[in-house]
Amino acid sequence: MTLTMRNDCSTPIAAYLTYSQAGEQLTIRQSQVLLYFCRFGVLTKGGTIKRIIKSQTMGWTFFFLGTTVCSFSAEDLAPEAGVPTEQVRCVLKYFSLGFGAIDRDYVMQSPTHELKTRLFIRNGYQYLYPAPGSLVWAVQTRFEETLNPNSANHQNPSVLVWERYLRTRADYLERESLRLFKHALRSADVYHSLSYEIVQDGVRKQTELDGLILFDATLFLVEMKSGSLTTQARRGSKDRLKRDLKRL
């Protein structure tokens, strides 16, 4: 299918009257698309109408994906989350990157790029979420680098606050893990935070057990560690994962 230019196309009526598609008159919608190209000097004689309209449609689609379809604001999320808009706005800002936040000399993308921890792209009051599912990765890493006073990006100078968080994290791990065990093994007896005595080198010592699970004729002794894994270990580096697990 080709277009033949016969006269001037400076107005919608002229565009409608001066183009033909295989000898047939164009629809109003087609003429509007052609007029757009004609005004911006894109259309040339003999151009293919299907190719032109397809290219323009793709351009409009991606434009609206970023501005209307896939973008959202704090006002959009607040009713769904059931929390105040200002709180949603703070969370989005905390986990987002604005345009220009990355150094313009940035060339090689690292395996753990910035969108791993700042997963939303911010443009004014609108946000994009380019990698759905990455929030699971980002929450602990982003939160702890802010709370840990030894982190380069910390916003909390108090060691006491950080230590309190570590204790709370460990307690949550134990209680939630045992709760899930109880949910999976419904007839099991589950016990948390036990203490007992042992004799080591002739010396009697008091020691602790995080969890004990009695299921039928099987006894599970559960020990848990709530420490963090490094970024390299979390993305699958075997050597780094081994070192991190030994450290824990």
Residue 204 or 24, more confident:
204
**Statement to judge: residues 58 and 94 lie in one domain:** no
Residue 231 is assigned to a structural domain of this protein: no
3-state SS assignment for residue 25: strand
Has residue 3 been placed in a domain? no
50 and 16 belong to one structural domain: yes
Determine phi and psi for 168, rounding to 5 degrees: -65, -40
Range(s) of the domain holding residue 85: 74-101+111-137
- 21 membership: H or E segment, kind and range: strand 20-21
Q: 3-state DSSP call for residue 107?
A: coil
Regarding predicted confidence, which is higher, 246 or 12?
Answer: 246
User: What value does the mean pLDDT of the chain take?
Assistant: 79
Question: What pLDDT, in 10s, does the model give residues 148-187?
Answer: 999 888 888 999 999 999 999 999 999 999 999 999 998 9
Q: What is the pLDDT of residue 192?
A: 93
Residue 18 has pLDDT above 80, yes or no: no
Does the residue 163 lie in any domain? Answer: no
**Model pLDDT for residues 54-70, shown as the tens digit of each residue:** 777 777 776 666 666 67
Residues 84 and 39 in one domain: no
pLDDT at 28: 62
- Report pLDDT digits (tens) over 202-222: 889 989 999 999 999 999 999
Give the confidence band of 85 by pLDDT, cuts at 50, 70, 90: very high
Shared-domain flag, residues 79 and 133: yes
Residue 166 lies in a domain: no
95-138 tens-digit pLDDT: 999 888 877 776 666 667 788 888 899 988 889 888 887 888 88
Token pair of 134 as six digits: 């990455």
The full DSSP string for 50-86 is: HHHHHHHHHHHHHHHIIIIIS-B-HHHHHHHHTS-HH
Measured CA to CA, the distance from residue 162 to residue 148 in angstroms comes to: 6
Lookup result for tokens 């599970």: 220
Residue 201 domain-assigned?
yes
**Helical H runs in the chain?**
12-18, 28-39, 49-64, 74-81, 85-94, 135-147, 159-184, 231-234, 238-247
In a domain, 57, yes or no: yes
Question: Quick one: 123 and 90 in the same domain?
Answer: yes
The 10s digit of each residue's pLDDT in 66-78 is: 666 678 899 999 9
Nearest-angstrom CA–CA distance, 122 and 88: 14
Give the pLDDT of residue 16.
Answer: 42
Domains in the chain, number: 3
Same domain, yes or no: 133 and 78: yes
- What is the average per-residue pLDDT within 10-28? 49
The answer, yes or no, to whether residue 8 has pLDDT greater than 50, is no
Residue 232 lies in a domain: no
Indicate whether 85 belongs to any domain: yes
Query: Residue 26 above 90 pLDDT?
Result: no
**Looking at 7-16, 80-89, 235-244, which range is the least confident one?**
7-16
Query: Is residue 36 located within the same domain as residue 49?
Result: yes
More confident residue, 25 or 204: 204
- Under a CB-based contact definition with an 8 Å cutoff, are residues 162 and 119 in contact? no
